[in-house]
Structure 1
Amino acid sequence: MSQPIITLYDIPSTVPQPWAPSIWRIRFILNYKRLHYRTVWIDFSDVEATLRSINAPPTSYKSDGRPVYSLPVIIDPIRTSPVVLSNANIIADYLELTYPARPVFPDGSRALQSLFVHYIQETFARPLLPILVPLTHQALPERSQAHFRGAGAGPSSVQMTGQQREQAWRAVKEQFDFLASILDKNTGSDGNGVVAMGHDVSYADFALCSVLIWIERVSPHDGWARVRQWNNQRWVRLWEKCRDYMDAL
């Protein structure tokens, strides 16, 4: 029997697509596991209505109990009743369990990788937000820009001077320097110091490289030009390690 085609929902923009880091984490896994999938592009303003229409579970809930719908979302028609999932980490766990070939969680690494990915999302990437969120807003279609502003995430939330921008990039570099010092512990006979698990790429690397892609897609001449030079070009080497899994089958 032919392999079912998974549907991955993503956000369109005017920059080279795709760009969203949380969705890239899933795209990497699909590509790495050599799974067949198609991408459905939906504007920010249509996300909630679209996800409700396919019975996707909410990603979270607001303090008043209202559900929040966000991407990534996948539909896997593997069973008679298709599996519809949201939340990048939940989707990653599902894909690993359902399609165990070419694992992204080597034996015994799931807990530590989960901590690593949480750090990438909640701490490492946070200084990038005031820089990249306004640039991302500018790259969205007009309908999505209006929705982005309504959510308080548009350019009106941050207006930086040149000095403030440099200060923001210094805060970003502090995070990159710290992570480089941790990954350097893998350097030596037992590892190359580029990937989190020492030798082979894993979910942790995909989470980190997804942030690099976001920088490169929305700020190629400023952000990526800076980052690629940092830490002895470590991040370019990680990019190259993940390059084979940036293109779908």
Structure 2
Amino acid sequence: MSQNVITLYDAPSIAPQPWAPNIWRIRFILNFKRLPHRTVWVEFTDVETTLRSIGAPPTSTRGDNRPVYTLPVIVDPLRSRSHPTILSNAQSIAEYLETSYPARPVFPEGSRALQTLFVHHIQDVFAKPLLPILVPLSHQRLPERSQAYFQGPAYSQLTGPQREQAWRAVKEQFDFLAVVLDKNAGDGDGTVVQGRDLSYADFALCSVLIWIERVSPHDGWSRVRGWHSGRWARLWERCKDYMDVY
């Protein structure tokens, strides 16, 4: 059975559920499209060795031309068992899944360019103020070997005024996004990016919400879910049916 389904490579956590937002984007698409799949868990210490062993392409290249291997990665035997498709990079995987399995589209017709730009904003701008808060908390939830693999000041928790200042910066990003999404008020309830139907952009945004909820449920998520009259909690509920982990 497992040889006949898509394999999604993810990083394990000591928390009950996975949290990595880039990987959740892909899990959302697989669930939304109802594509049979399973998860293989790879500790960060083993990522490069494991991905090289299955022939996965590097995600990027360092300045010294050394290849960089990161998650997510998928192996898709559904189209060809003798020559499975192996892909890295969340955006490339998302586009591949949409092209290869067009039923239940996550890129409604004519929206791919704008959704790609939106997701780029979520990843590189919107989520950036969350890094000093959530990276140390995520580090604590890694297995012991992976925790030891990552060391340095970036993994030290913020406390006191620094932490509150960081949350204010996060709130500013949520405020801006709420204003943008309010422009859809006449095309639905304003919860989702396309107005009425879930799309890739919503899954990218909800992946960040999952990250907050998984690693900071009592501080972070308790704040965020109440912002903007519960808008973000409503988006969570809209996406909830596609949060299964296999």
TM-score band by shorter chain is over 0.9
Partner of 1:66: 66
* One-letter code aligned to 1:238: L
Secondary structure of 1:74's aligned partner:
strand
TM-score (normalizing by structure 2): 0.96
Of residues 142, 145, 148, the one that matches 1:143 is 145
Which of structure 1's runs of 4+ aligned residues deviate more than 4 A? none
CA contact (8 A) 1:133 1:153 kept: no
1:51-90 residue pairs with structure 2 within 5 A? 51-77=51-77, 78-79=79-80, 80-90=82-92
Structure 2 equivalent of residue 129 of structure 1: 131
Tell me the secondary structure at the aligned position of residue 13 of structure 1.
coil
TM superposition shift of 1:15: 1.2
Alignment of 1:215-226 (within 5 A): 215-226=212-223
Using the size of structure 1 for normalisation, the TM-score is 0.94
Say if 2:13 and 2:141, in contact at 8 Å, map to a contact too. yes
Instruction: Note the alpha carbon deviations across 1:3-41, whole angstroms, 9 max, x for none.
Output: 930000001111122110000000000000000001000
Distance in 1, matches of 2:219 and 2:127, equals: 17
1:171 is matched with 169
Q: How big is the alpha-carbon RMSD for the aligned residues of Structure 1 and Structure 2? A: 1.3
Match of 2:115 in 1: 113
Q: Distance in 1 between matches of 2:245 and 2:17?
A: 13
What is residue 39 of structure 2 aligned with on the other side? 39
The answer to whether the 8 Å contact 1:44/1:148 transfers is no
2:102 and 2:139 map into 1 onto residues whose CA distance is 37
Q: Deviations along 1:45-96, whole A, 9 cap, x unmatched?
A: 0000000000100000111100100000000012121100000000000000
**What residue in structure 1 maps to residue 200 of structure 2?**
203
Shift of the alpha carbon at 1:160? 2.4
- Deviation string 1:145-181 (CA, Å, 9 cap, x unpaired) is 01122xx5752xx452310000000000000000000
Runs of 5+ in structure 1 lacking a partner? none
Count of residues in Structure 1 that have an aligned counterpart in Structure 2: 242
Please state if 1:17 is matched with 2:14: no
Structure 2 unaligned spans of 5+? none
Identity of aligned residues (%): 73
